[in-house]
A and B are shown apart, each in its own frame.
Chain A
Amino acid sequence: MRDPIRLPNGPGAAAILAAAIGCFALGIFAVAADAFAAIERAFTIWPPSGSLSGVTLAAIGTWLVAWFVLSKRWASRDVSLTRINVAAFAMLIVGLLLTFPPFADLLQGR
């Protein structure tokens, strides 16, 4: 069987890192909206859902912009996926912790 041409890992790495950035941003935005009334008001772009509307749309926007930018940069490159994975999972874990209310309260000194 003929070996297929090996694709560069850049596009996959861009998708992985961008997803982690999106999740991390969601955690940051959620804590910021909880901690500061001004940020909560700014994120309330659709009042029936409150600040959740802005927090989630901003996180999705951050994710998609990060994906677009990284994809452009790494479209035909091979990158160090080990380092990308370490960074991605670190952001993913911190993002998960930031969504956990007791941890978010702890950060805010409550």
Chain B
Amino acid sequence: MEISFRDLITVLHGMGFGALFMLAFSGAIGVIYATAVAGTEWAVPQRTNTMFRLYLISMAALAWLAVLSGAFVIYPWYRAVAPVGTTDLALYPQRLLLSSPLTAGWHELGMEWKEHIVWFSPIAMTMVAYVFIKYGPQLALHRDMRNAVLGFTAVAFFATAVAGGFGAFLNKYAPVRGGNEIVLYVRH
């Protein structure tokens, strides 16, 4: 059982960082809402509060890892220009998609939307983590701030869902392949 190096990095980007980040959203909304509703009346142990903070910092870090690996590691492989005369476009995903009107939309709508909208997530979640760390239970005293934080969290979720959804389809129609083959399992 083998996997190419680029496949492995793409899986790490999509499943390791992106999907884990998506999974964490329900927890983030729960943490922010519960803290803000209970407010200063809620005697959260210091350790629990520290865990909440680490949770949101981890989410922001995952979002940054996902976008940075996507834009500066995988995207160059995706948009690699095929040498003149190349007929097998398997190693040139963008060119492969654009070579047919039936698949061009996956690049022109999917990738072009995904590559920009996804950056909303780390920016929004960094802000959310900062505001939560700064105010914590005091968010109950700042209702407008709590609403803004929840709104930005929802936008980050939407942006990640768009990027993750199109990423999955793009990797289905034009997977990023190449690099050294890595042997994962050998049956003796």
Contacts and interface: CB of A to CB of B under 8 A. Distances in A.
Do A and B actually bind?
A: yes
Interface of A: 1, 3-4, 6-7, 9, 11-13, 15-16, 18-19, 22-23, 26-27, 30, 46, 48-50, 52-53, 55-56, 59-60, 63, 81-82, 84-85, 88-89, 92, 95-96, 99-102
A81 B141 CA distance: 12
B85 interface: no
B37 to A, nearest CB: 17
A81 B142 contact: yes
20 contacts: A1-B40, A1-B43, A11-B134, A12-B142, A15-B130, A15-B134, A16-B149, A18-B127, A19-B124, A49-B79, A56-B67, A63-B123, A81-B142, A84-B144, A85-B147, A88-B148, A96-B117, A96-B120, A96-B155, A99-B117
B119 interface: yes
Given A13-B145, A52-B71, A101-B108, A23 B123 contact: yes
Interface in B143-182: 144-145, 147-149, 151-152, 155, 159
Contacts of A23: 119-120, 123-124
B49 interface: no
Interface string B50-84: 00000000000000000100011001100100000
A101 B108 CA distance: 7
A98 to B, nearest CB: 8
Interface residues of B, number: 38
A55 B109 CA distance: 18
A53 B40 contact: no
Contacts of B145: 9, 12-13, 16, 81
B138 interface: yes
Contact of A100 (B113, B141, B155): B113
A92 B158 CA distance: 12
B40 A3 contact: yes
B6 to A, nearest CB: 14
B126 interface: yes
B119 A26 contact: yes
B113 A101 contact: yes
